[in-house]
Structure formats: structure tokens, C-alpha cells
Structure 1
């Protein structure tokens, strides 16, 4: 649902209240211009640790640092007026203990002005989620394919098939009971995502899950087609900006080499002659 005009900033309770209502629209953002672009149309903007792969060329999210998340979080914050801003906690910043998680989550919130943090993990993270929410830090959970655990999974594989379904469902029940206000369900079977959405009292946000989820999220660069060779099954391309940009760069390079750019419209004329004194 597109939003026009000025709207009040959405809060965590606003998002939680959307359970079984109009689906939540969510996208990632890592920069101020993109945050401004998506803000009028999105309910949640996630500063994802996918920034490491999307903008920094890293092979995975595992080497993303807290400092990187703070840097990009500050940039996104400057571009938002309406959408709820959530920032990913990077790998190694919360797993050691609830106390470690609190210190780093509090730092993220204080430095970026985000409204909530997102962390990966189910039953093993329930006590941490409870610890954070009891101390004023709203938490979005992330289940199914959790990219920070790709070495455990053996790659970016669908999770929750056959006997794995019970584990993912139990994880969802545990994080909801611990106080998470929403759950991202990534790359799990459609029927399982539908079942979890029915079972938990908090919104589910799908990415490679089910249209029955209470919302959807995509990496903005993926859905805009900025990566020509990256086409996961769960991404719908709403544009092919990478092709458009490449064509523009090609024309620019040709015009420079042929001295057709800059033209008369792009230079400053009638400049007074420089004095020789």
C-alpha cells in the first residue's frame, strides 16, 4: 500500500498490531537516498547485514562489523520519516551472552536511532530475546535460513523440510513467547510458513516463505535488478536498473571518447579573461 503525504512515524506497537491485517511492506536500505526512496511506501526498513555482500563485496555476512552497521544505520536514519527502522545485529555481537547482546544492541540503538534490532536464532536465542525486551530493546527474530549460520547449514539451503519443520515451528513459538514483536521467516516451505503464521500471535514477515505471512521483505537491490547475475527463486524483479545503468555508462564513455560530452549546455561560458598582471 503506497502512502502519500506526511504520516506519523510507525512504532513497534503499530507493527505488532498489524497481525492478520493489511500485509506489512518491508525492504532493506543502506544509504540515505534509498531510505528516502522507500520510506513513503514501506512499513519497515531494515538495515540488513546483507550490506556486507550488497555494498562491500563480501562473500557472506559473517565479516560484517558493528561499526559497519552503525555507519549505514546512521545514513538510513537520516532518510526516514515514516517507516520503522530495524538494524541487524552482526555475527558475533550477541551470541556469547544476553549481557553482550544488550551492550551491543544498546549501542546500535543509541548510535543510529533505530527503533528495534534483529537477531538470528530460535530456541537458543529465546533467553537473549527475553533479556533484551525486558530492558527496553524491541527485538525482531529471524528463523529458517539464517545467513549467519550458513557454515552449519552447508550453504543457502531451504530449511524446515521433513523433520526440520518441527524445529522451525518450535523456534517460532519460543521467540514469540520470549517477547519478539515480529519474526522474519526466510527460505522455508510455503505450508510451514503458513502454519507458523497461524500459530504465533506476532506478525511473520516472509522472504522465500508464503504469501500467507503477515508481511514480506526483499533486499532492495535484488528487487530493483541491480545485480544481473543474482536471481534467487524467491526474488521478483520489479525493475532491471542494472541493465539501464550499464547502458547509460556505455553511452557516457562513448561520448567522452568522441568529445561529445561535455557539450555547450554543460560548460560555463562568458568567463572574463584572466588578468595577466
Structure 2
């Protein structure tokens, strides 16, 4: 049985911290599920780490449905949350359509959207229709051209606004709120004030949970080493070394060997060749 909203809420009540990680395909979902990660986020960050875009803005709902379906098929126990991409929730009707596709076509158990009080009515509409919603505050990647890639909420006014936005999302029925690139003390204060769990990324240890991007966590990109991430492996280097070794062995004749294939009886091959040669004369 998959992790549920109630499970996440109980974790907060018990003071039990939990991990969430992004996943974008079947293989990643299988590995994360086997590792016991309770929440998988099919983030629109796939636009950057999987599709090669410079931001998340070009990601479409078709992209999200495709990748989310792979993650759902690859997991059995984790709750799968799918991002609503840029402008797919510009109004309540569009949000319902996009969320319906993610839940019905891809099979996710919840959706995530960015923004605070301004999107609270949309959150309420989705929740009223039975669609679990996760909020996202602080640095919101879909607004990168407007707010820039930087820590959010440092001034008195910005901190007050973030706290008000978090409360608005919770009041609208969001079951959790991601806090991205938020000062640690502010994130801790928001966490203490909310009845619903917070999930931090670059927001310190005071949040109820943490989320990391798959590629950052596993060291798949040398050029992408954000300050808020910890590299638990250097798989990019390991994969590159393995591919170089493979290519070298192919060139040198070291691969494949007889152990890597199968063969047939010599007399059967001779008979097959004879029959073929006879048919062509």
C-alpha cells in the first residue's frame, strides 16, 4: 500500500522526519521505492535534468503525464506527486483539467503547484474535488524570470508574506508545503506554525521533511552542484568510466567473449548454410 496523506500528517505529529526525492522514470522510481523513500516528486525540473531546457518553463502537461506515468509504474509504496507545469493552473478550470490528466492518465496520488495566497482559491477548488494538493513557496522555479534564482523571504515584509502565504495554502486544504531557498530560521518558524508538514530544499533542518533532486543527490552532473544539495554518490563519474571501459573493450576485442553469447551445433549451421547456398544457385 502506498504512503498516504494521513501517513505524512502522522509523521509530523510524531516529530518523525521524512525524505522525498524527485524521480522522472521507471528505473529511478524502482530504486527509490526499494530504498524506502515515502514520497516521490515528478518535478517539472525534468525540463532541465531530463529534457535539456535551461528552466522549467517549457515543460508541458504532456511531458508531465508521460514521465509521471513511468514513475507510477515503477513504484508500489511511495506516494507519487506530480507537478502542475507553468500556466497549467492559470485559472481553476485549467488546473482541474491538468490535475485530472495527471491523476487519471498518469496515476499520481497528488499534485503540486507554486504560489501562495494568489493560488489558494485554486487549491481549494482542487481539494474540494478530491485532488490532494501540495504547495510550494519561497523560490518558485516557474517564476525564475520574475524573482531570480536567489533566497526568498529575507526581509521583514517578505518573511511576513511567506508566512501569510503558507497559512493561506494550509487553510485552502494543501496537505503539505515545500519551502525552497528560504532562510533556515524562517522555515523553522513556518513549520512550527503550520499544522501541515513542510518539506524543505535549501531551507534547513527545521522542516518536517526534505526533498532533493535525483541528479544532485547522486552526482550525475559535475556542472550542477547547488549549495543546498549533498552528493551521496558520484554516479556521473562512475557511469562515464564504465562507458569508456566498454568502448575500449569493444575496440580491443575484449568484449564480447564466448561467455557473453550462445552458439549452435556446427552440423546444424552447416546444414542451414548448405540449404541457403542451394536455394540461391
For CA contacts below 8 A with separation 6 or more, give which structure has more relative contact order: 1
Q: 1:50 aligns with which of 38, 45, 48?
A: 45
Is residue 2:62 matched to residue 1:70? no
Matches within 5 A, 1:160-175: 160-163=153-156, 164-175=158-169
The TM-score, its normalising length taken from structure 2, stands at 0.92
Which residue matches 2:119?
125
Which residue matches 2:190?
196
Stretches of structure 1 that go unaligned for 5 or more consecutive residues are 1-7
Which residue matches 2:84?
89
Stretches of structure 2 that go unaligned for 5 or more consecutive residues are none
Larger mean CA deviation between 140-149 and 170-179 belongs to 170-179
User: 1:193: how far off?
Assistant: 0.5
The structure in which a higher percent of residues are helix is 2
CA RMSD of aligned residues (A): 1.2
Which residue matches 1:158?
151
Q: Which runs of 4+ in 1 moved over 6 A?
A: none
Which residue matches 1:13?
6
Which residue matches 2:249?
255
The TM-score, its normalising length taken from structure 1, stands at 0.94
Distance, in Å, in 1 between the alignment partners of 2:264 and 2:128 is 68
Q: 2:230 aligns with which of 220, 223, 236?
A: 236
Which residue matches 1:5?
none
Equivalenced residue count is 268
User: 1:18: how far off?
Assistant: 1.9
User: 1:259: how far off?
Assistant: 2.0
User: 1:265: how far off?
Assistant: 1.8
User: 1:268: how far off?
Assistant: 2.8
Larger mean CA deviation between 166-175 and 12-21 belongs to 12-21
SS in 1 for 2:256: coil
User: 1:135: how far off?
Assistant: 1.0
User: 1:266: how far off?
Assistant: 1.9
Distance, in Å, in 2 between the alignment partners of 1:191 and 1:12 is 26
Q: Which structure has the larger Rg?
A: 2
